[in-house]
Structure 1
Amino acid sequence: MGNYLSDEEIIEAQKLLELYYSLPFGIDMPGPVWEQIFARIKGGTWSGKRDNRPNPDVVVNGIRYSVKTESLDHAISKKRRAARDFLGYREDLIVARPPVDELLKENELHSLDASELGARVLSAYNTIASQNWDRISILLRLRRREFIYWEIDPPIYDVDKYTWRDSGKAKGQSRNIITTPRPAQFKWTSRGSQFYVLYEIPANADILQIEPKPFTLDELLSLRHRIPR
């Protein structure tokens, strides 16, 4: 029984994910692939926009979804091997790319102290979340066999509640800042304007499982030639 997706949506999603990962080039899954699968199982409309701006990715009956998908493979350990092992685990996810560059004057990227810069990042995210999204949809991928899914209402954060510092990991002319204390609730890097949020995977998240049956490229080409034009 699904908690965030219906049983029918889970079955349909598993079929489509299994098909994708059976393809010879289905090594990893870029965001637009899952966005289209999500739109199909929900009966929604995929925006098709890849401009890294705050547009919703999928709209379902007027509900605007920001759709996220990332791999969890880097976090696999002796303690956490299967999807169920990650329930309750916390993971940094890129949730937005706030156009902070549009809010900064010349040289402010480096002249502002970390907390003032962080406040601007958080304000930019709050504007995006409040004006453009109704739901955030998250799918985490594990070894191309298991998937963890949940949804949340977009949180709006109190800008004055957080203290920021430079992370010390920036390269070149970029700047990376994080909140304190550890583990950091938020991270932002100027390279790509990537805004990370530390999420706790819900204990009741939906788990999807597939068993791909790989096609060879020759089999795929043969199948294509059988399709009437």
Structure 2
Amino acid sequence: MSLKAIGFDADDTLWQNEQFYRLTEARFAELLSDYADPADLSAKLLETEKRTLGLYGFGIKGFTLSMIETAIQVTDGKIPSSVVADILAAGRDMLSHPIETLPHARETLEQLMGTYRLILITKGDLFDQERKLAQSGLGEFFDAVEIVSDKTAATYERIFRSHAEGPGSALVVGNSLKSDIVPAIAAGSWGVYVPHALTWSYEHVEAPADEPRFRQIEHLGQLTEVLDHLR
């Protein structure tokens, strides 16, 4: 094997992200506490998010629209305008939260830069992902940045053929089995799974433990050891 390129997921792999969704969802439940039980509201919100992903896409703006749509549903269209305003304010707060890089992110990228072609591969809203990358201070380590609407095997094949020597000589690192690992392996790449304490339930699938190109580590600081074993 001749590994040439490494694709890094961003949200909850390089910096914190899901925690802000959880906090906002708790705020949403409090706003709608007179109309729905928190558990039922959470289930309805997830159902709305799944149903509208094809329209709104991934990211904070789609999440905010899903909250408003769910609020209209659970109030039978009687949601007060003040609550809509509060939901919009919560979405704006998410779009301005400070970026907190995860442990070992910077030092790992520093170690790998120059040895491998490093590619940031993230999905979501273009403006927000660009903002987070700029504020993270990690942009200097990447040879290419791809902000995509979704992550599939075809996505990884296109990216690694465009920025490297193809998926067979590439590896993907991420916290989502569904978006980062499974499709990367399906494309012919290696997949290194770095679990995060908080992962959106939509991203939950079984780990491809029997796949020879699958690896799992506890944190990014262990990635270089994995790479050494693959050489």
TM-score by shorter chain over 0.5 = no
Task: Say which one has the larger Rg.
Answer: 1
Higher helix share: 2
Higher strand share: 1
TM interval, short-chain normalised:
under 0.3
TM-score (norm 1): 0.26
TM-score (norm 2): 0.26
